[in-house]
């Protein structure tokens, strides 16, 4: 796999038969995360947390010099899928030998409560981990998982009983991607939405959350490694997908495409992986491979660029976080030891940068950045544009750590290639 630098794509904005040339329509919107009976704001029910923006309501205090307490450790199988936590239960999705396994664990002890599995033959063409990539989504007493070979399934949260399953790659004729299927399911209004990446209008597919029946299909966009989100525009819920081709806004009710913003590298061996981030009345998207970042104003039927740059904050796979006018995240390709940066969201100008910081993930916890580096170091720092100011550091895992962790009820649940741990940080 030869990776080269490519120039960003700057196609004219194309909308589905809706173009507004000179009229700016005022919009208001918010992120809508899944709701769950009995679920509270300190749960972590899906990738990037309750709102899919990497934000936790729990503030984290610096730990002592000896590091935070590790409540429990547990051996796990392969996979880059992060854990999800609702109430007293953690959902783990991993590969054990030739099975993709979903397990429910007791959060205080790591004890297994139930386990469900199905066979897998997935092989990674580039020698990477061969476990599932997509973090489970837990909503309305259901668990939804999407395996590396495109198996989408719904399980009962209490018992692990399989409610339905769809082999999306077979049903929609999806070609194998570079690194397996990785779209964490978006669940909203009785629908499970996934960037399947099929041809003939099956780029994005919505399934009935209770039965698995196909409700609608839209676009011919190939699959990315980004997770979709729901936002409200002018009172109307809208699904945003950052596909292999770019950003797409759809009506979740019937899949009608509202607007599209092409944004991908000209290099064939490239991916879009970071999740779109909503900032006030705008959307931030970012990718590597010479593509760059864009801050887009959301209008009634279009995305209008506020700024674009390949030199500001190019997220390879880890989504940035936003706090008080500034973005915090990784700039550069993971394999080339990316920098960690603070960037003015309004202008794209860099406030500070830590070169060759290395890959990892970041959570905004209160007014602090909780950074888990790929080599297993946990860093707590102030979320301030003044300077990078670490408050505490601790080695909590051995590398390689790539799965996005969960921060629920003051406990961080993180995993590497063979171990899952529960780290006590703060009580909510």
CA distance 407 to 84: 9
Q: What is the pLDDT of residue 227?
A: 97
Q: What is the pLDDT of residue 267?
A: 85
**Phi, psi (degrees; rounded to nearest 5) at 170:** -75, -45
Q: What is the pLDDT of residue 427?
A: 60
CA distance 101 to 115: 7
| CA-wise closest residue to 363 among 31, 105, 60, 29 | 60
> Alpha carbon of 183 to those of 241, 364, 402: distances in Å?
10, 22, 15
Yes or no: say if 45 and 86 are a contact pair by the CB < 8 Å rule.
yes
CA distance 353 to 331: 9
Domains of the chain: 55-424 (2.130.10.10)
Q: Is 311 helix (H, G, I), strand (E, B) or coil?
A: coil
Give bridge partners of residue 379 from the DSSP assignment. 371, 393
Q: What is the pLDDT of residue 2?
A: 28
> Alpha carbon of 11 to those of 3, 15, 19, 174, 244: distances in Å?
22, 12, 15, 26, 15
Q: What is the pLDDT of residue 300?
A: 78
User: pLDDT of the chain along its 428 residues, tens only?
Assistant: 223 223 333 333 333 232 222 222 333 334 445 444 345 789 999 999 999 999 998 899 999 999 999 999 999 999 999 999 999 999 999 999 999 999 999 999 999 999 999 999 999 988 889 999 999 999 999 999 999 999 999 999 999 999 999 999 999 999 988 889 999 999 999 999 999 999 999 999 999 999 999 999 999 999 999 999 999 887 889 999 999 999 999 999 999 999 999 999 888 878 899 999 999 889 999 999 999 999 999 987 899 999 999 999 999 999 999 999 999 999 999 999 999 999 999 999 999 999 999 999 999 999 999 999 999 999 999 999 999 999 999 999 998 999 999 999 999 999 999 999 999 998 64
Q: Which pair of structure tokens corresponds to residue 137?
A: 């989504």
CA distance 332 to 2: 17
Q: Which pair of structure tokens corresponds to residue 413?
A: 């649940």
């Amino acid at each position: 796999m030869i990776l080269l630098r490519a120039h960003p794509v700057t196609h004219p904005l194309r909308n589905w038969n809706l173009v507004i040339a000179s009229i700016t329509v005022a919009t208001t919107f918010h992120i809508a995360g899944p709701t769950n009976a009995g679920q509270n704001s300190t749960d972590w029910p899906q990738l990037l947390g309750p709102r899919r923006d990497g934000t936790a309501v729990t503030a984290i205090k610096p730990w002592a010099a000896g590091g935070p307490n590790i409540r429990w450790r547990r051996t796990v199988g392969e996979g880059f899928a992060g854990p999800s936590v609702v109430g007293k239960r953690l959902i783990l999705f991993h590969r054990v030998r030739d099975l993709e396994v979903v397990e429910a664990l007791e959060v205080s002890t790591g004890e297994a409560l139930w386990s469900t599995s199905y066979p897998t033959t997935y092989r990674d063409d580039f020698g990477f981990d061969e476990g599932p990539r997509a973090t489970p989504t837990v909503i309305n007493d259901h668990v939804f998982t999407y395996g590396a070979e495109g198996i989408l399934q719904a399980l009962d949260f209490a018992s692990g009983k399989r409610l339905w399953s769809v082999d999306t790659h077979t049903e929609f004729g999806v070609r194998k991607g570079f690194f397996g299927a990785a779209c964490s399911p978006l669940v909203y209004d009785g629908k499970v939405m996934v960037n399947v990446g099929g041809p003939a209008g099956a780029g994005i597919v919505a399934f009935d959350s209770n039965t698995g029946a196909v409700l609608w299909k839209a676009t011919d966009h190939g699959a990315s490694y980004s997770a979709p989100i729901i936002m409200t525009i002018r009172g109307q819920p809208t699904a945003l997908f950052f596909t292999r081709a770019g950003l797409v806004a759809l009506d979740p009710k019937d899949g009608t495409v509202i607007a599209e913003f092409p944004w991908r590298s000209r290099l064939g061996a490239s991916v879009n992986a970071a999740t779109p981030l909503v900032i006030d009345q705008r959307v931030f998207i970012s990718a590597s491979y010479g593509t760059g970042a864009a801050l887009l104003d959301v209008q009634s039927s279009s995305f209008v660029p506020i700024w674009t740059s390949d030199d500001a904050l190019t997220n390879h796979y880890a989504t940035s976080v936003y706090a008080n006018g500034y973005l915090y995240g990784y700039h550069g390709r993971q394999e080339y030891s990316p920098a960690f940066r603070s960037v003015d969201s309004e202008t794209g100008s860099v406030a500070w940068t830590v070169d060759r910081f290395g890959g990892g993930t970041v959570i905004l916890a209160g007014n602090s950045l909780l950074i888990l580096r790929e080599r297993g170091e946990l860093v707590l720092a102030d979320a301030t544009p003044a300077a990078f100011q670490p408050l505490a550091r601790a080695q909590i895992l051995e590398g390689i750590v790539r799965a996005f962790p969960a921060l629920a009820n003051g406990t961080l649940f993180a995993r590497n290639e063979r171990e899952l741990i529960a780290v006590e940080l703060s009580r909510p």
